[in-house]
């Protein structure tokens, strides 16, 4: 499927009043005096959206800026409709595009295709030297190979992209930078990537039924840990239909946690501070499993899922059941992504949203796994010479305008009001989206090293040492190949 759209910088109705109203209704920040944890409290302070992007004044005389992006949800990062729809997210994206178009005198030409086709089109364009695109949104895992094939530019070659600004993910370098060359980035420019960030849902009705306290204060105090989750889900999985067993086929049995095997192993591992690849002083990656830490993390994950008999779905065809068990009121917690809240809007029971728990109270920040289907932003290697200044100004303009216009609407009107059912859950979203994790092992070695927690859980195994050692040789070789590919790509630019 392909669509094309030219957004011309005409005089269009802006939604600034609506957006300002949305920002004004943010919840007051929780102070460190209230929580006793300055680091945790800072996560909920209102963000300053008026930070300057320091871009020069330019008017490009209606020059076309060409964007390509995949479908299956990622098209919402830019949209192709040339009008407002009354959907808050759509109209915020629409407004961002129009603001940037008017500010710099450009028009956007947008192409949408299947994510595999997007990768191939970028490859073919670069190989032919045809210079077809200025900005590309690609599938995180599938698109990672583009950086190793001389197809995209390091963002360090784009003079006006300032990755120190808050509209870019602050941990992106860990997953995508080699020798201080960052080939793909993410942040506010991709609202859909925020939607597929991991979180936990909890059933407030069940919490009330069992006289349990909602975990919001645990989160704010920095005490929301895997041990606390284990305590809350212990003995919660119960046979309720009287057949003497807990069965996935039952419509009455309840669970402490409902989860999906392609989500929860990653969301729990990375939230607990797990990381399989580290960097040396020269930003060169190396395989770096930490046996003591990872054994501790895995054992806690194992206890929550296996020991506590969670609903742990491994059948792809039955994936919808993961959310359904929770929406039917038969699970205390659900591990999923923020966008799953859309699927729970008709749920009878009340629910809340919180971040995935930390390993322990000593861990400073809550961390959130970003699903591999997330969009990543890259620039084709065919962008050369003076075009890099032009492209970098528009990209930085889109990112900063997303921070000012889209993200407040995303959090206030979409994630917070449209999806969640209480102000406290809305407050929790700030903990979820600002410390997102990117691991080179997951991105580049997804089927293998980056999936070891999933593979061990599938076997019901607790032999962490054997699993990590088994990857030593192959992981080292894979990383060496990645570094060599990057170096070759750098030499040609």
Residue 174 has what pLDDT? 84
Residue spans of the domains in the chain: they are 6-194+373-433, 197-370+442-472
Radius of gyration of the chain (CA): 23
270 neighbors 369 (Cβ within 8 angstroms): yes
Instruction: Please state which of the four CATH numbers 3.40.190.10, 3.30.70.20, 3.40.50.720, 3.30.360.10 is assigned to the domain occupying 197-370+442-472.
Output: 3.40.190.10
Residue 296 vs residues 27, 152, 300, 413: alpha-carbon distances, Å: 36, 39, 6, 39
Contact 428, 353 (CB under 8 A): yes
* The two three-digit tokens of residue 365, written as one number: 């920040």
DSSP state, residue 252:
S
pLDDT of residue 163: 94
- Split the chain (493 residues) into runs of 10 and give each run's mean pLDDT: 39 32 34 36 51 95 95 76 82 94 96 91 95 94 85 94 93 87 92 91 96 96 98 95 87 95 95 93 91 95 97 94 96 95 90 96 95 90 95 98 92 75 82 88 78 90 88 88 80 59
pLDDT of 337: 94
Task: Kindly state the tokens that stand for 466.
Answer: 């054997």
Residue 205, judged by CB atoms within 10 A of its CB (0-12, 13-18, 19+), counts as middle
Contact call for residues 153 and 389 (beta carbons, < 8 A): no
Residue 305 has what pLDDT? Answer: 97
CATH of domain 6-194+373-433: 3.40.190.10
Residue 474 tokens read as 């192959």
Separation CA 199–CA 217 (nearest Å): 16
> Would you call 167 helix, strand, or coil by DSSP?
coil
Which helix H or strand E contains 291, and what residues bound it? helix 291-302
> What's the confidence (pLDDT) of residue 307?
96
Closest by CA position to 414, among listed 28, 73, 95, 22: 22
- Exposed e or buried b per residue across 302-319, where buried means at least 16 C-beta atoms within 10 angstroms of its C-beta: bbbbeebbbbbbeeeeee
Environment class of 362 (CB within 10 Å of its CB; exposed 0-12, middle 13-18, buried 19+): exposed
The alpha helices in 10-157, defined as continuous H runs, are 16-24, 32-35, 38-42, 88-104, 115-128, 140-143
DSSP assignment of 44-66: TSPP-TT----PPP---SSEEEE
Question: What is the pLDDT, as a whole number, of residue 17?
Answer: 32
Helix (H) or strand (E) holding 482: helix 472-491
Contacts of 384 (CB under 8 A, 6+ apart): none
Alpha helix segments (H runs only) across 199-263: 204-209, 216-220, 226-233
Beta carbons of 457 and 306 less than 8 angstroms apart:
yes
């Amino acid at each position: 499927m392909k669509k094309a759209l030219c957004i011309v910088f005409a005089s269009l109705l802006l939604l600034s009043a609506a957006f300002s109203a949305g920002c004004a209704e943010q919840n007051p920040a929780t102070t460190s005096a209230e929580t006793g944890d300055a680091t945790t409290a800072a996560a909920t302070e209102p963000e300053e959206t008026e930070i300057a992007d320091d871009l020069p004044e330019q008017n490009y005389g209606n020059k076309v800026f060409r964007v390509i992006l995949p479908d299956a949800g990622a098209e919402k990062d830019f949209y192709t409709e040339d009008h407002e729809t009354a959907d808050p997210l759509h109209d915020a994206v629409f407004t961002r595009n129009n603001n940037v178009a008017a500010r710099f005198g450009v028009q956007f030409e947008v192409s949408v295709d299947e994510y595999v086709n997007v990768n191939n089109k970028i490859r073919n364009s670069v190989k032919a030297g045809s210079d077809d695109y200025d900005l590309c949104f690609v599938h995180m895992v599938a698109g990672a190979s583009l950086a190793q094939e001389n197809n995209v530019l390091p963002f360090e070659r784009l003079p006006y992209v300032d990755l120190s600004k808050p509209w870019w993910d602050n941990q992106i370098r860990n997953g995508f930078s080699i020798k201080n060359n960052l080939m793909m980035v993410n942040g506010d420019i991709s609202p859909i990537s925020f939607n597929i960030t991991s979180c936990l849902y909890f059933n407030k009705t069940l919490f009330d039924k069992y006289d349990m306290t909602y975990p919001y204060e645990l989160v704010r105090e920095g005490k929301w840990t895997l041990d606390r989750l284990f305590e809350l889900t212990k003995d919660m999985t119960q046979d309720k239909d009287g057949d003497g067993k807990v069965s996935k086929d039952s419509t009455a049995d309840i669970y402490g946690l409902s989860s999906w095997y392609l989500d929860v192993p990653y969301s729990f591992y990375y939230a607990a501070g797990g990381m399989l690849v580290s960097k040396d002083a020269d930003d060169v990656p190396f395989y770096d499993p930490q046996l003591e830490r990872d054994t501790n993390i895995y054992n806690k994950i194992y206890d929550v899922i296996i020991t506590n008999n969670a609903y742990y779905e491994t059948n792809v065809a039955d994936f919808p059941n993961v959310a359904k068990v929770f929406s039917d009121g038969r699970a205390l917690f659900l591990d999923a992504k923020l966008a799953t809240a859309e699927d729970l809007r008709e749920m009878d029971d009340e629910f809340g949203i919180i971040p995935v728990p930390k390993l322990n109270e000593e861990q400073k920040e809550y961390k959130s796994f970003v699903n591999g289907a997330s969009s990543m932003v890259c620039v084709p290697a065919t962008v050369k010479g003076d075009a890099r200044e032009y492209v970098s100004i528009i990209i930085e303009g889109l990112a900063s305008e997303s921070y000012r216009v889209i993200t407040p609407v995303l959090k206030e009107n979409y994630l917070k009001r449209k999806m969640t059912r209480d102000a406290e859950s809305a407050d929790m979203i700030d903990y979820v989206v600002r410390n997102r994790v990117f691991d080179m092992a997951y991105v580049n070695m997804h089927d293998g090293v980056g999936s070891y927690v999933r593979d061990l859980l599938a076997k019901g195994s607790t032999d962490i040492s054997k699993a990590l050692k088994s990857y030593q040789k192959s992981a080292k070789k894979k990383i060496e190949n990645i570094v060599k590919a990057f170096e070759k790509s750098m030499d040609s630019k």
